[in-house]
Amino acid sequence: MLGQLIASGIVVGGIYTLMALGMTVLFRSTTVVNFCHGEFFMVGAFAVLLTQSKLGWLMGASIVFALVLMYAIGALIERGLLRPLQNAPHISLTMMTVALSYLLKGLSRFFYGREVVPLPPILAGDPIEFFDIVLAPQDVLIVLFSLFVVLVAYWFFNYTRSGKVIQAASQTPRGAALVGINVPRLRNIMWGVGAMLGAMAGILIAPTTLVYPDMGGHVLIRAFAAMTLGGFGSLPGAVIGSMSLGVIENLLGGYVSSALVEIAAYLVIIAVLIVRPQGIMGEWRQGRG
Amino acid sequence: MADHSTARRSLAVLLLVVLLLLPLVLNNYHQFVVNTMLVYCLIAIGFNIVIGYLGQLAFANAAFFGIGAYATGLSMVHLGLPYLPAALVGTLAGGLAGGIVGLPALRVKGYYLAIITLALGELMRWVYVHADRVTFGPGGFKVPDIVFWGYTLADRQKYYLFLALVILATASTSLLLRSRFGRAFVAIRNNEVAAASLGIAVNRSKVVAFITSGLIVGLAGAMYAALNGRVSPDTFGLSQMLMHFAIVVIGGLGNLMGSIIGALLLTAAPELLRNFPGLEEIVFSLMLILVLFFIPKGLGGLVCDHFPSLRERLYREGKPHA
């Protein structure tokens, strides 16, 4: 029981990790908390669903298409809607992401209606048993993929030149610009990559949660909770927070009451912000916002 | 200065006469929409205190609204209170919720506050659904008819009741904002450290702002319970929060008249768009994006730019008046 709960917690945590990593990347590149990340998640899943069911594409082709599309959407949003507001009060940027979130939601509702449909899993097949833990192949794929993304991100930010350049650009944009780093271009790329990560989370989880226009809000709050728990803006924090949140949710649901699964994230947010606002890994910066 | 205030006063009297005569020309459906507009005017004013004047990103407004509506409706159902005392309970419950949200606002701000308040709002919805012995669960409950001295109020009579409540609440908010406290809110918004160094009690002012916001939005909730006749958890979710946010931003942050303009505009819009799923969200978000790009001060700010005499005294720029 305990092993199974922790294992399913890690699977859910993998999805939260993809979301939280994407949001952290965006937060560090533009210092904006992206309230439309849940919609990247939703649009990604929709892109795969529509190309498969309406156009009959293969799974691989539709996933590649969805990721390219999301990169383009992310980069376009940064270039067209956020960069012009770069010198406006900071709150305007946040409002812009809130507005975008509702725009994407409204567009998908308008064109797609109120149907709720499942997406076929990427890996179908019999459940895999491991001692007394049973996982679907798709769950294993989720864990492996999020692990892969975490390792790539770790390697990229710590061991490559481009990763260090991006770190520099997010720490002091002005200083980075002075030594010849093209900060706006980097931000543009980061938005594309962040949107892709969000979409990937959506594509991976859609077979279990179904695809519908409001699917993003639920996971957005959980990614917030994970980032808050791990420390806002910290990459390792996002991973640790997401995994812990996934496990906490499952343990509460398994041992206390299944009604608590829905609110575990809210309770975590409130508890962390009251007890230790900087989270597990974060450094506390007064007056951010 | 003198002719400005005469102009203002005659404008206000004219407006009042129009408002009092309005029900004579409205059919039942339009009357209902106008009543909804009144509810949203109060919501926007209450929200503006915290987000516009105090400058705190607190997204608990839909929660205050829900708490006001639930407290009013439930005290009528369970305790058998008549409407006005029940509305008082709803208002006070909103104020209490405001005070409770104000406490984390002393400790965290910016995004952290935005997230904790969003979480509180969703938590309240969970409570409405799961505390079903008291709140009647996910389906909500029917609010008893509003009866005064054996006479059941229809929408047209509710309009006059609401109008009185809105005018009362708007006037007291406007007075509060012009008082020491209102000036303190704006000072805190502009620079918290500087405000504190000038001897402004930052924490106390923040709590006062949150409580006032909660009281006003709680009253709006009480009105909503009477207007709609039904209270259910789904009403007070994230899309309700978007509505409040869009009204205040489109109307103009820190601008009471703007909030009223925004409320009138955005309450009318969904009535026109209701047959197309998603179109309401598209229109609201496009309006938000346009306002953010082109009129950062909002519609209220735009009006004030053209009619300087309407500008609120706190923001009136230029020569000091003799």
**pLDDT per position as a tens digit, B290-304:** 998 888 888 888 888
Taking residues A56-70, what's their average pLDDT? Answer: 90
Taking residues A58-74, what's their average pLDDT? Answer: 92
Is A107's CB within 8 Å of B278's CB? yes
Please indicate if any CB of chain B lies within 8 Å of the CB of A262: yes
Residue B261 scores a pLDDT above 70: yes
Residue A173 scores a pLDDT above 60: yes
Please enumerate in sequence order all residues whose Cβ is within 8 A of that of B87, keeping only pairs 6 or more positions apart, or say none: B72, B219, B222, B223, B226
Is A88's CB within 8 Å of B292's CB? yes
Q: Is residue A101 part of a domain?
A: yes
Residue B192 scores a pLDDT above 80: yes
Residue B218 scores a pLDDT above 90: yes
Report the C-alpha gap between B140 and A121 in whole angstroms: 37
Tens of pLDDT, residue by residue over B199-217, are 999 999 999 999 999 999 9
Tens of pLDDT, residue by residue over A260-283, are 888 888 888 888 887 887 778 766
Report the C-alpha gap between A269 and B119 in whole angstroms: 7
Is A289's CB within 8 Å of B110's CB? yes
Kindly state the percentage of chain A with pLDDT values over 90: 30
Q: How many residues does chain A have?
A: 289
Task: Identify the CA nearest to B118 among candidates A204, A101, A73.
Answer: A101
B322: confidence class by pLDDT, cuts 50, 70, 90: very low
* Confidence (pLDDT) at B2: 52
In this complex, the residue of B238, B282, B292 whose CB is nearest that of residue A106 is: B282
Tens of pLDDT, residue by residue over A99-156, are 999 899 889 888 877 777 777 777 777 788 777 788 888 888 999 999 999 999 889 8
Task: Identify the CA nearest to B233 among candidates B66, B2, B30, B37.
Answer: B66
Residue A245 scores a pLDDT above 90: yes
* Confidence (pLDDT) at B313: 56
Tens of pLDDT, residue by residue over B29-42, are 889 999 999 999 99
Closest-CA residue of chain B to A225: B115
Amino acid at B298: G
* Confidence (pLDDT) at B24: 81
The whole-chain average pLDDT of chain A stands at 86
Taking residues B262-281, what's their average pLDDT? Answer: 82
Q: How many Cβ atoms are within 10 Å of B8's Cβ, its own excluded?
A: 12
Q: Is residue A59 part of a domain?
A: yes
Taking residues B88-105, what's their average pLDDT? Answer: 92
Please indicate if any CB of chain B lies within 8 Å of the CB of A224: yes
* Confidence (pLDDT) at B260: 92
Residue B155 Cα, gap to closest chain A Cα (Å)? 32
Q: Which residues of A61-90 are buried (b: 16+ CB within 10 A; e: fewer)?
A: ebbebbbebbbebbbebbbebbeebeeeeb
Instruction: Give whole-number Cα distances, A208 to A109, A138, A142, in Å.
Output: 20, 9, 12
Higher pLDDT residue, B313 or A158? Answer: A158
* Confidence (pLDDT) at A286: 42
Give A 156-195 residues with CB within 8 A of chain B.
none
Contact criterion met (CB below 8 Å) for B221 and B44 = no
Higher pLDDT residue, A111 or A75? Answer: A75
pTM for this entry: 0.85
- Give A255: exposed, middle or buried? Use CB within 10 Å, 0-12, 13-18, 19+: exposed
Instruction: Supply φ then ψ for residue A278, to 5 degrees.
Output: -80, -5
B312: confidence class by pLDDT, cuts 50, 70, 90: low
* Confidence (pLDDT) at A289: 36
Residues of chain A in contact with residue B116, where contact means CB-CB under 8 angstroms, are: 269-270, 273
Q: For chain B, what is the total number of helices (H) and then of strands (E)?
A: 14, 4
Q: Is residue A164 part of a domain?
A: yes
Residue B150 scores a pLDDT above 90: no
Residue B320 scores a pLDDT above 50: no
Tokens of A253: 């649901």
* Confidence (pLDDT) at B321: 37
DSSP string, B48-110: HIIIIIS------HHHHHHHHHHHHHHHHHHH---HHHHHHHHHHHHHHHHHHHHHHHHH--T
Q: Is residue A98 part of a domain?
A: yes
R_g of chain B computed on alpha carbons: 19
Is B282's CB within 8 Å of A217's CB? no
Is B119's CB within 8 Å of A289's CB? no
Closest-CA residue of chain A to B115: A224
| Lowest-pLDDT choice from A234-243, B17-26, B313-322 | B313-322
Task: Give me the residue label for tokens 């965290």.
Answer: B108
Residue B314 scores a pLDDT above 60: no
Residue A98 Cα, gap to closest chain B Cα (Å)? 8
* Confidence (pLDDT) at A39: 92
Total structural domains within chain A: 1
Tens of pLDDT, residue by residue over B104-113, are 788 777 778 8
Tokens of B220: 């709006």
Task: Identify the CA nearest to B143 among candidates B153, B151, B131.
Answer: B153
Is B104's CB within 8 Å of A109's CB? no
Residue B43 Cα, gap to closest chain A Cα (Å)? 19
Is A274's CB within 8 Å of B284's CB? no
Give A 76-105 residues with CB within 8 A of chain B.
81, 84-85, 88-89, 91-92, 94-96, 98-103, 105
The whole-chain average pLDDT of chain B stands at 86
Is A224's CB within 8 Å of B278's CB? no
Whether the complex's predicted ipTM is more than 0.85 is answered with: no
Q: Is residue A45 part of a domain?
A: yes
* Confidence (pLDDT) at A209: 81
Residue A46: domain span = 11-114+121-212
Give A 5-44 residues with CB within 8 A of chain B.
33
Tens of pLDDT, residue by residue over B161-185, are 999 999 999 999 999 998 999 999 9
Taking residues A192-196, what's their average pLDDT? Answer: 93
B319: confidence class by pLDDT, cuts 50, 70, 90: very low
Report the C-alpha gap between A31 and A17 in whole angstroms: 19
